[in-house]
Structure 1
Amino acid sequence: MSISQIKQYVDWIMQGDETVPKRLAMLTAHCQEILEELAMRKESLRGVELKIACYQQYVEKKENER
């Protein structure tokens, strides 16, 4: 959530209960953004883990050749 969004959220809190629907919508959208980012991070992590496994196999192979 950006600083401006956080400020807006705090402003809505200060305005009272009539802004609850706006806060709910903002947090729901933010949650979706987090879930999308998490999915991308998980995909990136799988790629890094695959590269690590390849390098580990390479190192082990070279050590066994000695």
Structure 2
Amino acid sequence: MDTSLQGTNLTMDKVQDLEVAQEAEVTEAEQHIHLPSPSLWPLVLSAAILVTVAGLLGLPDSPC
């Protein structure tokens, strides 16, 4: 495998085409970022965990 610059045989047109293709890939990748929509479920889940832990901590002290 020849890695010298003479062996690659790149012309300015090919270099510019590569730069345009790389810019297009970056632009395309930026457009496809998907984020989840806002939700109340994390708040509900944290409240449920808090109630569960508080209930488990109070369990041994409760008279049965």
Task: Give the alignment's TM-score, normalised by structure 2.
Answer: 0.47
When you count helix as a share of all residues, which structure comes out higher? 1
Task: Give the alignment's TM-score, normalised by structure 1.
Answer: 0.46
Structure with more relative contact order (C-alpha pairs < 8 Å, separation 6 or more): 1
* Greater Rg over alpha carbons, structure: 2
